[in-house]
Amino acid sequence: CWYYEPIENGRPTWVSPYENKNIYVEMISYVIPIFRNGMTIGVIGMDIDLNLLKQKTKAITVYETGNAMLVSAEGDIVYAKKYPQGLQSEAFDTNITEIKEQMSSDKTESQIHSYMWEGKKCLLAFRRLQNEMTLIINVSADEINRTTNQLVIQCLLILAAGLTVSLVVSVRLTGNLKKSLINLTQSAEELSKGNYNVAISCESNDEIGMLAKTLSEAAKTVDKSNRRINRLAYTDSLTGLNNRHFFTQFCADHEGLKYRNTGVLFCDINGLKRTNDSHGHEAGDRLIATFADILKNKFPEEICCRLSGDEFIVIAENKDRNIFFQQVEEFHFLNEQNEIPYASVGCCWMPGSPDITRMVKAAEMEMYRNKEALYKAHPDYRR
C-alpha cells in the first residue's frame, strides 16, 4: 500500500502503520509520488519506525497517573499505556468509545474535554499531528483537583480552629479582646472566600494573638501555593511567556468587553523543523527561546503568548497606533538580523472597540502571506 496509495491519491501521503515484511519492523511512511507528463515514474519518501513514536508517546507524563495515547487516522489505537501493542477500533469497549467521541469533528483541538472512564471523571486534550495521527493526553479529574482540594481542606481546618478558639476566648475576655475577636472572625471569613491577602492583625500576646499569627502565616503559605500553581498552569516552561491556555482564558474573559486602540502581532518561527532535523531539538529550543527574548524585550508591557511550538502572539491593549507600529518596526529590525528572519510576522491595529478574534485572524492571514513569500525566495525552508 505504501507504493500504490500515494500514486492513486496523486499527492504526498502519510501511509497508515504497517509491517515491513522485509525487515519485520512496524512503521509509518511519508511517500511522494513522482509523475512526468502524466506517467508514473516512481515514489520517494521516508520510513519512520513506529516504535520511536510509541516511545515518545510513552514518555509523556501528566501529573502522577496521566498518560498519552496515539491514535491512527483510521481510529485504531497505536499505543496507550493500557494497550501497549495497540487496539483495533472494532475491539473498543465503552470506555474507549467515549474517548473516540471526544475527538469528533465538532470538538476543538487543544481544549480540555470531559469524559467518564471506568466510572470516574477524566479530562483530555488532543491534537491532530501532521502525520494524520492524533495525540491524546488524559488524566483523572480528581488528581488535577487534588492540590486545590487539599488547600481548601487546610483552609477549612484553619478556619474551624480559629472559630473554636475564638468562641472559647470570647467567653473569657471582654473589651479590647472582643474587638480582636471580631477582626479575627472577619479575617477568617475572608479566608473562606479565597481572599488570602487579607490583613490579620492582633496586638495581644495571648492565645488570640498566637492564633492571628498562625492564620496569617497559613494564609501567606496558601496564597504562595496558589500563585505557583497558577503560574505553572498559565506559563510556557521553555520561554517564560504566557501559554495557549492563558491566551484561551484571556479571550474568554475579555469576550464582549470594549477596547480602544488595540494592536495584534502574530508570529510563526521560520525553519524550526529544519533546525530540529539538522541540528537537533536542543538547537530548536534555543531558536524558540531566542525569539521569545526578542518579543519580551520589544513588547515588555504587552501580552505575549506562545500558542504552540512555533507560533507566538502579542496583544497590545489601549495602544496608540504610532507607538504600536514604532514597536513593530523596531521588532522587525531585530527579527531580520538573522540570515533568514527569525519569524514570519503579521500585524493588525484597530481603533474603537475591535473584535479581538477577528483581529487575530487578520494578523494570522498576513503572516501566512509573508511566509509564502519567504518560501518562494527560500524553498528549502518550507516545512
Strand partners, 136: 69, 126
Query: What is the chain's Cα-based Rg?
Result: 28
Query: Is residue 207 over pLDDT 70?
Result: no
In angstroms, how far is CA 152 from the centroid of its own chain?
26
- Residue whose grid cell is 513514536: 53
Which three cell numbers, joined as nine digits, stand for 174? 471582654
Q: Compute the distance between CA of residue 298 and CA of residue 269 in angstroms, rounded to an integer.
A: 17
CA geometry: angle 39, 45, 47, nearest 5 deg: 145
Burial of 71 (0-12, 13-18, 19+ CB in 10 A): buried
Q: Residues 277-303: what's their mean pLDDT?
A: 92
> Concatenated DSSP letters for 32-88?
EEEEETTEEEEEEEEEEEHHHHHHHHHH-EETTTEEEEEE-TTS-EEE-SS-TT-B-
| 57, 332, 356 from 256: Cα distances, Å | 39, 32, 9
Q: Compute the distance between CA of residue 332 and CA of residue 330 in angstroms, rounded to an integer.
A: 5
Highest mean pLDDT of the ranges 50-54, 71-75, 118-122, 253-257: 50-54
User: Which CATH superfamily, name and number, covers 52-142?
Assistant: PAS domain (3.30.450.20)
pLDDT digits (tens, 9 = 90+) for 151-161: 667 766 777 77
Query: Is residue 369 over pLDDT 90?
Result: yes
Which three cell numbers, joined as nine digits, stand for 43? 515514489
Q: Residues 8-25: what's their mean pLDDT?
A: 85
Query: What band does 26 get if pLDDT is binned at 50, 70 and 90?
Result: confident
| Domain parsing of the chain, residue ranges | 4-49, 52-142, 144-231, 242-381
- Output the pLDDT for position 204: 64
Phi and psi at 310, nearest 5°, equal -125, 10
- Output the pLDDT for position 370: 93
Give 165 or 294, the one with higher predicted confidence.
294
Question: Hey, do 52-142 and 242-381 end up sharing a CATH topology, with the first three levels equal?
Answer: no
Single-letter amino acid, residue 286: R
Q: Residues 138-145: what's their mean pLDDT?
A: 78
* β-strands 66-71, 134-140 pairing: antiparallel
Instruction: Give pairs for 330-333: CB < 8 Å, separation 24+.
Output: 330/298, 331/265, 331/294, 331/295, 331/298, 331/299
Which three cell numbers, joined as nine digits, stand for 139? 488524566
User: Which CATH superfamily, name and number, covers 242-381?
Assistant: Reverse transcriptase/Diguanylate cyclase domain (3.30.70.270)
pTM score: 0.44
